[in-house]
């Protein structure tokens, strides 16, 4: 029995069976590679679902963890420590927001955003304004697994087993301005969007839809809340993907890559929204702890020092170009889209998408499939063109083999006729 077999047997007995894991035991990582128990190196184009922004074993992350863990790991939010103000300053300066609350995960940041919106609407009502409690979320959205996040997430499979969810959520057709206008009213306290939907298949909002959401919210005092948990912190070549649109939200949320792999989330808001919160209304034991904050500061400073926003833009453009030329050779690729290092290639069948992910794994390259037919690329920001070439070559082989097989089957079928 291998070590992997032992772990699989133990997990199947001991863990809630929430994941269908790939049978690989990872033990360490280096740069853009993650390495299994036999020393096999995998090119990681998924970075732990958009988390390991600086890849693996980055000296800045290692140094921050080592130094901070020697100094202080946890204090609770009842006391001050060095990290929160420094991190909040960096985040507010880069996002155009005014204030921050730190959480541990993306879904917690999103819960904080929903609570802020309800509290803000309550404040406006107490001031005589007419703003309700309803949320408008988007079809194909994904905001997380806790109750509020789940209730504002579109796909029924995430919500229905746990029904009833949080009431007061209505879904708007994606990028459908007429539907948004029809469903918006004074009952709405917030419009909820991802600038580029992640789990929904790397789908960007249109400029028109985003601008209309901003205008409608502003017209009543409702809030525009933008979830940047997957698209934020430099992944698209800007700190937040909404900055590509020149649109400023009232609240935004960050998590995944914020501390390069150490759990942390953040909800950021304007001074106007912050009026609605006072001591005791919201909190967390672990959120914004010294360790996570120190690492997040190191990640931000490294992204800046090493010019990784420009690098993500440049290598992302190269990845898109190479995927487009692959699409020109392979009919199975029906669309290529994305921004920076948040990229998708949509295929013409769910079976082929699943097969492609499995075949890439056999070639020691990690990608995944979202929304059934979409191959998703969320690599570390330190990815180089040579890594893109390796991945494109592998995809080319897989699609060629698949097309040849399909042609042979058709020919075989024709012969039988
Ligand atoms: C856009 C978006 N929001 C929220 C979440 C939830 O984050 P977490 O898994 O850290 O709770 C995710 C996770 O994939 C996400 O992509």
* Ligand 1 centroid from CA 329, angstroms: 34
Facing residues of 370 across strands? Answer: 374
- Residue 4's CB is within 10 A of a number of other CB atoms, namely 14
Which residue lies with its CA nearest to atom 3 of ligand 1? Answer: 143
Return the residue whose CA atom lies nearest to atom 10 of ligand 1.
106
Yes or no: say if 289 and 256 are a contact pair by the CB < 8 Å rule.
Answer: no
Ligand 1 neighbourhood includes 109 CB (under 6 angstroms)? no
- Does residue 228's CB lie within 6 angstroms of at least one atom of ligand 1? no
- 91 membership: H or E segment, kind and range: helix 83-95
Q: Is the CB of 158 under 6 A from ligand 1?
A: no
Residue-wise pLDDT for 121-172, tens only, equals 999 999 999 999 999 999 999 999 999 999 999 999 999 999 999 999 999 9
417 Cα–ligand 1 center, Å: 51
Position 345 scores a pLDDT of: 98
Q: At what angle do helices 350-362 and 385-416 cross, to 10 degrees?
A: 130
Distance from the CA of 142 to the center of ligand 1, in angstroms? 7
- The answer to whether residue 203 scores a pLDDT higher than 50 is yes
Whether the CB of 230 sits within 6 Å of ligand 1: yes
pLDDT of residue 324: 98
Average model confidence (pLDDT) across the chain: 97
Instruction: Give the residue-averaged pLDDT of 211-231.
Output: 98
Q: How many CB atoms lie within 10 A of CB 403?
A: 14
Q: What is the 3-state secondary structure (H, E, C) of the chain?
A: CCHHHHHHHHHHHHCCCCCCCCCCCEEEEEECEEEECCCCEEEECCHHHHCCCCCECCHHHHHHHHHHHHHCCCCCCCCCCCHHHHHHHHHHHHHCCCEEEEECCHHHHHHHHHHHHHHHHHHHHHCCCCCCCEEEEECCCCCCCCHHHHHCCCCHHHHHHHCCCCCCEEEECCCCHHHHHHHCCCCEEEEEEECEECCCCCEECCHHHHHHHHHHHHHHCCEEEEECCCCCCCCCCCCCHHHHCCCCCCEEEECCCCCECECCEEEEECHHHHCCCCCCCCCCCCCCCHHHHHHHHHHHHHHHHCCHHHHHHHHHHHHHHHHHHHHHHCCCEEEEEEECCEEEEEECCHHHHHHHHHHHHHCCEECEEECCCEEEECCCCCCCHHHHHHHHHHHHHHHHHHHHHHHHHHHHHHHHC
pLDDT higher than 90, residue 308? yes
Q: Over 50: is that where the pLDDT of 398 sits?
A: yes
Instruction: Judge if the beta carbon of residue 198 lies within 6 A of ligand 1.
Output: yes
* Percent of the chain with pLDDT strictly greater than 70: 99
Are residues 90 and 304 in contact, defined by beta-carbon separation less than 8 angstroms? no
Q: Measured from the CB, is residue 51 less than 6 Å from ligand 1?
A: no
What integer is the mean pLDDT of 5-26? 97
Atom of ligand 1 nearest to the CA of 231: 1
How are beta strands 41-44 and 365-366 bridged, if at all? parallel
C-alpha 145 – ligand 1 centre gap (Å): 8
Residue 34 has pLDDT above 70, yes or no: yes
Give the pLDDT score at 411: 87
Q: CA-to-CA distance for 360 and 305, rounded, in angstroms?
A: 33
Residue with tokens 């900055």: 243
User: What does the pLDDT average to over 99-123?
Assistant: 98
Record the tokens describing residue 294, joined without a space.
């120190």
pLDDT computed for residue 414 by the predictor: 65
Residue 259 CA to ligand 1 center (angstroms) comes to: 15
Mean local confidence (pLDDT), 52-58: 98
Q: Where are the beta strands (DSSP E) in 182-236?
A: 188-194, 196-197, 203-204, 223-227
Residue 212: pLDDT band (50, 70, 90) is very high
The pLDDT of residue 352 is: 98
Q: Which atom of ligand 1 is nearest to the CA of 146?
A: 11
> What is the distance between the alpha carbons of residues 230 and 224, in angstroms, rounded to a whole number?
17
Residue 417 has pLDDT above 50, yes or no: no
Does the Cβ of 144 fall within 6 Å of ligand 1?
A: yes
Average pLDDT of span 332-351: 98
CB atoms within 10 A of CB 326: 19
The predicted model gives 319-341 an average pLDDT of: 98
């Amino acid at each position: 029995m291998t070590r992997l077999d032992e772990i699989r047997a133990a997990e199947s007995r001991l863990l809630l069976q929430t994941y269908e894991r790939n049978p690989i035991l990872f033990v360490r990582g280096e740069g853009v590679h993650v390495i299994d128990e036999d020393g096999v190196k995998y090119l990681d184009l998924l970075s732990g679902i958009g988390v390991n922004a600086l890849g693996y074993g980055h000296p800045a992350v290692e140094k921050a963890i080592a130094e901070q863990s020697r100094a202080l790991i946890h204090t609770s939010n009842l006391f001050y420590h060095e990290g929160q103000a420094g991190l909040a300053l960096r985040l507010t300066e880069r996002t155009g927001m005014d204030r921050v609350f730190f959480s541990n995960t993306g879904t917690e940041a999103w819960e904080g955003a929903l609570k802020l919106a309800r509290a803000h609407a309550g404040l406006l009502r107490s001031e005589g304004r007419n703003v309700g409690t309803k949320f408008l979320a988007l079809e194909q959205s994904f905001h997380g697994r806790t109750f509020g996040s789940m209730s504002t997430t579109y796909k029924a499979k995430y919500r229905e087993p746990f029904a009833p969810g949080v009431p007061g959520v209505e879904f708007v057709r994606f990028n459908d301005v007429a539907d948004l206008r029809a469903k918006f009213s004074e009952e709405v306290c917030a419009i909820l969007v991802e600038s580029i939907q992640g789990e929904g298949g790397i789908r960007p909002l249109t400029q028109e839809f985003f601008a209309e959401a901003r205008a409608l919210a502003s017209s009543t005092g409702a809030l525009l809340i933008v979830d940047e948990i997957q698209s934020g912190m430099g992944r698209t070549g800007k700190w937040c993907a909404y900055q590509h649109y020149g649109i400023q939200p009232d609240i935004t949320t960050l998590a995944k890559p914020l501390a390069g792999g150490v759990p942390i989330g953040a909800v950021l808001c304007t001074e106007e929204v912050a009026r609605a919160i006072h001591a005791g209304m919201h909190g967390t034991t672990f959120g914004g702890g010294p360790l996570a904050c120190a690492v997040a500061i190191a990640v931000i400073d490294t992204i800046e020092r090493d010019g990784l926003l420009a690098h993500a833009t440049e290598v992302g453009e190269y990845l898109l170009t190479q995927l487009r030329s692959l699409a020109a050779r392979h009919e199975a690729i029906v669309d290529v889209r994305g921004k920076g290092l948040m990229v998708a290639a949509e295929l013409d069948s769910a079976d082929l998408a699943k097969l492609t992910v499995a075949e890439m794994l056999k070639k020691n390259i990690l990608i995944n499939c979202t929304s059934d037919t979409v191959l998703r690329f969320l690599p570390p920001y330190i990815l180089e063109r040579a890594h893109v070439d390796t991945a494109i070559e592998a995809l080319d082989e897989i699609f060629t083999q698949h097309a040849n097989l399909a042609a042979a089957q058709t020919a075989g079928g024709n012969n039988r006729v």
